[in-house]
Amino acid sequence: MVEKSGDRLKQNLQAVAKIKLHEQIVEQVQLLIEKGRLKHGDQLPPERELASIFKVSRHTVREAIRILEQKEVLRSRPGSGTFIIMDDPASVAEFLAKAIFKEKNTLAEIFQFRELLEPQIAGLAAQNATEKDISVLKDILNGQKRELGNTLVSKELDERFHLALARATGNSVLFQVVELFGHIVIQIRHEYAQSFYRNQLSLEGHRKILDAIKARDTKAANELMAGHLHTIGKLVVSSNVPK
């Protein structure tokens, strides 16, 4: 495993400039993890070899490793070596959200991603939502009804609904992913015209999804979320929102 990880490093990393060297090493290692070229369980080459690859001192390598350990990306095991650790839910969610953020300008792809993820979230919420979860979703839906004409509040309530759904799954990784990329979706929404019609579509879609969750209908919740995101995504991508 050491040899394979070292080969991947040699093929994909390059000597760093002589400014904040350890930070550049941290960024390069994180980038390889984001791209899937380094994975959970991979062992990094020895410190001396890393220093040779990066063309820096061993002290600089140690500093980079220290930072990556603080970020819970690496773990050093005395007598064994230094390993990639991506089994922590927060670490996985953070890297996924960063990858999404880098592609935030590709609007159609963002909604394709949501269409893959969020129907599964709605279906799981139909299985696992507690009465408290359902009550929270109802409160958000009532807020959407009251605030249809308020663009800013409608945006916030829309995002709160999707976040509350993720929490209702009982899956901490899903919740953290939705929470972390929620701000990306909010940024995207600032780039297109919000309208009363758009708010009505959101409200109606959420109402149907909530009905399916209350009925514990996993299939319906999944399908309704997929249809809801597809409809909203077409409007956003085309910027053809009726007034």
pLDDT single digits (tens) 107-133: 677 777 788 889 999 999 999 999 999
Amino acid 179: pLDDT: 76
User: What rounded mean pLDDT belongs to the chain?
Assistant: 80
Tell whether 19 and 97 lie within a shared domain: no
Residue 155: inside a domain: yes
Handedness of CA 119, 121, 123, 129 (dihedral sign): negative
Question: Residue 83's domain is classified under what CATH number?
Answer: 1.10.10.10
Q: Is the pLDDT of residue 151 over 90?
A: no
Task: Quote the CA–CA distance of 33 and 28 in Å, as a whole number.
Answer: 9
Q: What is the pLDDT of residue 87?
A: 54
233 part of a folded domain: yes
pLDDT (0 to 100) of residue 241: 41
Model confidence at 240: pLDDT above 50: no
Average pLDDT over residues 38-45: 83
227 and 176 part of one domain: yes
Name the CA radius of gyration of the chain, rounded. Answer: 22
Residue with tokens 């007598």: 79
Among the candidates 87, 109, 142, a domain finishes at: 87
* pLDDT at residue 225, as a whole number: 95
Q: pTM above 0.85? A: no
In a domain, 154, yes or no: yes
**Given 87, 115, 145, which residue is the final one in a domain?**
87
- Determine which helix (DSSP H) or strand (DSSP E) holds 76, and give its type and residue range: strand 74-77
Q: 112 and 201 share a domain?
A: yes
Domain that includes residue 63, residue range: 2-87
What is the total count of domains within the chain? 2
Is 153 exposed, middle or buried (CB count within 10 Å of its CB: 0-12, 13-18, 19+)?
middle
pLDDT average, residue stretch 225-229: 93
From 4-13, 78-87, 90-99, 123-132, the region with the lowest mean pLDDT: 90-99
Q: Give the pLDDT band of residue 88 (cuts 50, 70, 90).
A: low
Q: What is the mean pLDDT of residues 8-28?
A: 73
Q: Rounded to whole angstroms, how far apart are CA atoms 191 and 81?
A: 47
**How far is residue 182's CA from residue 199's CA, in Å, rounded to a whole number?**
18
At 96, the pLDDT band (50, 70, 90 cuts) reads: low
Handedness of CA 98, 113, 207, 223 (dihedral sign): negative
| Alpha carbon distance 236, 233 (integer Å) | 5
The per-residue b/e assignment along 53-84, b for 16 or more CB within 10 angstroms, e otherwise, is: bbebeeebbebbbebbeeeebbeeeeeebbbb
Residue 76's pLDDT is: 85
Of 33, 67, 87, the residue at which a domain comes to its end is 87
Q: Is residue 243 part of a domain?
A: no
Residue 43 included in any domain: yes
Q: In 81-126, where do the E strands start and end?
A: 81-84
User: Do 110 and 198 reside in the same domain of the chain?
Assistant: yes
What's the rounded mean pLDDT across residues 172-195? 65
pLDDT higher than 60, residue 83:
yes
